[in-house]
Amino acid sequence: MGMGDRDKSKPVPAPTPQRGDIESAPDDVDSFLSALRTAPAPQRRAGERGRLIFAMDATASREPTWDTAIQIQAEMFSETAALGGLEVQLAWYRGFGQFRASEWVDDSKSLVTRMTEVRCLAGKTQIARVLKNAIVEAKRGRVGALVFVGDAMEEDIDTLGDLAGRLGLLGVRAFIFHEGRDPTAARAFQHIARLTGGACCRFDASSARQLRELLAAVAVYAAGGRAALEDYGKKKGGEVLRLTHQVR
């Protein structure tokens, strides 16, 4: 069953709180955007689209929010069109060691089509394979960011830490959306985010709007850097503008 069969009983050390970690739900957004503020702007050649890997846990526990995620991801494309566009690779795992990574797509319709073909299936987590895939893609060409949505971690934390560190050295920040409140997953996700220079933010079914806004913010960052993120906040106004002020 791959990495999911590693020792699940091994304790996960609680990381020392640093920028990008979250300590309580009210601070999630502030911490998330604080990490965006300090992350180096992605560099790309003229005419090159921004690239983002959108990875998801498709095991059975995620089924209630899978359809919500399909709807939310479409906004990534609409918010980056004026920045030269965005290419997204969809990666997911489920079942008995099943892992898939799509080709790069540049429109929401193609991504929605691929996501709607996936049904959640019981199995172990395969976060190591998500990180390994991101490393391979980053070595092939520039990747602006990795977004991961999941609710559990059943793997060896040292292995994940090593892979996250390697991903960080390649300049790819991991922005993790943690569904639920599993403490083992929370500590592991914070650890991965910190090692890549990214951020971790908790969400649940009632915070779909917040997830949509933050995901769009990461997409804008991947496509155009911090300046583009500030312009995005001005355009959206309201809560988004308030949040974006913190990344200046």
Angle between helices 208-236 and 63-78 (to 10 degrees): 10
Query: Sheet harboring 86-94: ordered strands across?
Result: 98-101, 86-94, 50-57, 145-150, 173-179, 199-203
Query: Is 158 among the domain residues?
Result: yes
Query: Is 11 among the domain residues?
Result: no
Query: Is 85 among the domain residues?
Result: yes
Enumerate the β-bridge partners of residue 99: 93
pLDDT of residue 163: 96
Residue type, 124: K
Per-residue pLDDT of the chain (248 residues; tens, 9 = 90+): 444 444 444 444 444 434 333 333 445 655 655 655 555 555 545 456 788 898 988 887 777 766 676 666 666 666 665 555 788 898 999 989 999 999 998 876 777 777 777 777 888 999 999 999 999 999 998 898 899 989 999 999 999 999 999 999 998 989 888 888 899 999 999 999 989 888 888 776 666 666 677 777 778 878 877 677 777 777 766 545 544 554 34
- Name the strand (E) or helix (H) holding 145: strand 145-150
Count how many domains the chain has: 1
Contact present, 127 and 160 (Cβ < 8 Å): yes
For residue 166, what are its two tokens? Answer: 């390697």
Query: Is 144 among the domain residues?
Result: yes
Query: Is 6 among the domain residues?
Result: no
For residue 154, what are its two tokens? Answer: 């059943």
pLDDT of residue 82: 54
Q: Which residues form the domain of 129?
A: 25-36+46-247
Query: Is 243 among the domain residues?
Result: yes
Q: Assign residue 58 the CATH number of its domain.
A: 3.40.50.410
**115 backbone dihedrals φ, ψ, rounded to 5°:** -70, -35
pLDDT of residue 58: 87
Query: Is 41 among the domain residues?
Result: no
Q: What is the pTM of this model?
A: 0.73
